[in-house]
Amino acid sequence: MQNIQLRDGRSIPQVGFGTAAIGEMHQDDGYVKDTILKAIDAGYRHIDTASFYGNERSVGQAIAESRLQREQFFITTKVWDTQQGYQSTFKAMDESLERLQMDYVDLYLVHWPYPEKTRPTWQAMEKLHAEGIAKSLGLSNFRKQDIQQLFEIAEIKPVYNQIELHPYLTQKPLVEYCESKGIAVSCWSPLGSGSWSDVKAEDKPVAEKVINDMAEKYEVSTGQIILKWDIQQGRIVIPKSESEKHIAANLALDGFTLTDDELNAIDALNKDLCFGGDPDNAWQENLERPVP
């Protein structure tokens, strides 16, 4: 499994395991834990969760039961909009660590831009970083203007931005901006909407003929083609799956290489189609959705 070096010098596995809505959103039980254990058994060491997902306990239990050392994992969690602010961010981290049964996380993210809370939230995160509780600091769903706002006040610059990115939403200007600032780009919902959405299979990028033709050529799945498109362009991916077959396939990306023409053909599928929340106003709705 390939690693990427973040700007702060720390290393992150390029393929992570997404945990949003395993089973259902906010589900936190034996099924969730067992699914994460399947991913660990398949070789995943980068696990992405969030306080809002409501499953940090299951993540922590799976890691404890794996019998592997904590240092072998790269664990990401996030501060939700209702938790943003200076003192409340410390409380959010305390609660996340208690649920995870850990004394630090590898990467702590601001889950969504909430502009009026950016300064106090980031200042609290910088203190958590100084104390070794958050080893790296990053963002999720931040637009260019949000990053510019943060850069005006940040003593520690973010090393990572996790955004919705798939063949129907390539976000090229934002990707180029992040890369120009030394911010690694990570893709949530990399295959184009997950089980949490009501998007029909035929309306997802995996149904595109150009992607299916590549999958047939390389004798891999359509999902593997899309993940490889990201990997070859230096992006981090955090696909979620609940079946052992797909969990393993999403990690098995070394046996083929897409040509430049094929990468460009997938780029050309862009429709600026957003399946998830809109960063322009998501925080307003998120304030009505507390951490479970």
pLDDT of residue 203: 85
pLDDT of residue 192: 86
Summarised one tens digit per residue, pLDDT across range 19-60 is: 999 999 999 999 999 999 999 999 999 999 999 999 999 999
Task: Note the maximum CA span of the chain.
Answer: 54
- CA distance linking residue 216 with residue 137, whole number of Å: 40
122-125, long-range: CB < 8 A, 24+ apart: 122/150, 122/153, 122/154, 123/86, 123/153, 124/85, 124/86, 124/87, 124/89, 124/90, 125/79, 125/89
| Partners of 11 in the β-ladder | 5
The verdict on whether residue 111 carries a ligand-binding annotation is yes
Catalytic residue among 31, 44, 53, 160: 53
Q: Are 206 and 182 in contact (CB under 8 A)?
A: no
**What's the topology of domain 12-273?**
TIM Barrel (3.20.20)
Looking at every residue in the chain, the average pLDDT score rounds to 96
pLDDT of residue 28: 96
pLDDT of residue 84: 98
Q: Are 74 and 45 in contact (CB under 8 A)?
A: yes
Q: Which residues of the chain have pLDDT under 70?
A: 1, 193-197
- CA distance linking residue 81 with residue 240, whole number of Å: 23
pLDDT of residue 220: 97
Q: What is the pTM of this model?
A: 0.96
114 included as an active-site residue:
no
pLDDT of residue 1: 66
Return left, alpha or beta for 193; rule: phi > 0 is left, psi -120 to 50 is alpha, else beta: left
- For 128-173, the DSSP string reads HHHTTSEEEEEEES--HHHHHHHHTT-SS---EEEEE-BTTB--HH
Backbone phi, psi, residue 65, to 5°: -75, -15
pLDDT of residue 194: 60
